[in-house]
Amino acid sequence: MAARSYFDWNATTPMRPQAQAALTSALAVLGNPSSVHAEGRAARQVVERAREEVAALVGARPANVIFTSGGTEANMLALTPAIEIAAEKEPRDRLLMSAIEHSSVRSGGRFPSRLIEEVPVTRDGRVDLAKLAQAVAGPSRPSRPLLSLMLANNETGVVQPVAEAAAIVHAAGGLVHVDAIQGAGRMACDMGVLGADLLTLSAHKIGGPMGVGALVRCDEGIHWPEPLIRGGGQERGLRAGTENVAGIAAFGAAASAAGRNRAAEAARMRRLRDTLESGLKTITPEAVIFGETAERLPNTTLFALVGIKAETAVIAFDLEGVAVSSGAACSSGKVAPSHVLAAMEVSPALRGAVRVSLGWTTSEVDVERFLTAWRKLAGALSRGRSVAA
């Protein structure tokens, strides 16, 4: 097979060697982690070691990590009016979310649609804190809002002002859920610093396997009287079902490696991304890079050029041995206009954008292959060939 370059790390990452080793080792462990015999205790030890590793990545206590089947389930578990805290047993009466959230948050979880309110974002793709403050203070009666705000956007990579937003919501007696799926492992992600009451993680975004995630609480006082999945009482009664021991072990190993290598990997990815964007602009000065002036993840570029359809560009890149995407990989391969760019008030002519996301194995050769492919694609466009819209 001809050499290929993978630039879709925001969709999924390859498994880290540490995660592969942990997965293989855990597959040999016999025993249900809920059993009390020696085999069961051995399986439980694997799960609890991984819980410690995941907790360390986000500055949490291991007891507050709840393993799930992935980020979507973790978001669904978090987004419910029936969240109890030590001092407040009344249900949450509003769900606030930014207009650029992932589809698993935009679905609203277990909140009825009448209790859901979107908060606008600025043109650079950051949640509008003034609008958030207005939304929090909106009802004439006291309210108990839950804000769901991503740490970094999955399409643009723009980092959100989570700590500032959390301060606004907490001052009004609300709770804050942070979808940290794209940010964890690529930027600092400490729950205490962020002011997050709840935080979502996904293994396959940090070098672990698909099908494993976690919802992390800031403290054990946060409780769900009605878990999303009820049954045998696993995960401290908050998520029933026998734990995926091997997947969880790999998740823990990936979290440990991601935390340990984060600074070096981020610096390297940022350098390569800047080289890629410089080359992109040299080839097509009229190309627009979204969120270019805002703080972004070190690995993410979302760009567009008038006259190129995103789906056409993705196919053209693929034929040149380069894997990119047209945005979030959460719609079973469907290509649709970006709700993120619409929220940023981007012209419809530019909403068919291409997302390029790098990772820890991306090389200078990969960047050059991308630029060579883009030069060919842009050249064909300028000659009026079939790649035009």
Q: Tell me which residues are annotated as active site.
A: 330
Cβ-proximal residues to 253 (8 Å cutoff; 6+ apart), any chain? 16, 18, 19, 21, 22, 23, 50, 53, 208
Q: Report d(CA 301, CA 354) in Å as an integer.
A: 8
Calculate the dihedral angle through the C-alpha atoms of 75, 77, 78, 84, rounding to the nearest 10 degrees.
180
Single-letter code of the amino acid located at 55? A
**What residues does 288 pair with on adjacent strands?**
304
Cβ-proximal residues to 25 (8 Å cutoff; 6+ apart), any chain? 249
Reference 72, options 256, 250, 331, 358; nearest CA is 331
Q: Report d(CA 102, CA 124) in Å as an integer.
A: 17
Q: What is the number of other CB atoms lying within 10 angstroms of the CB of residue 171?
A: 11
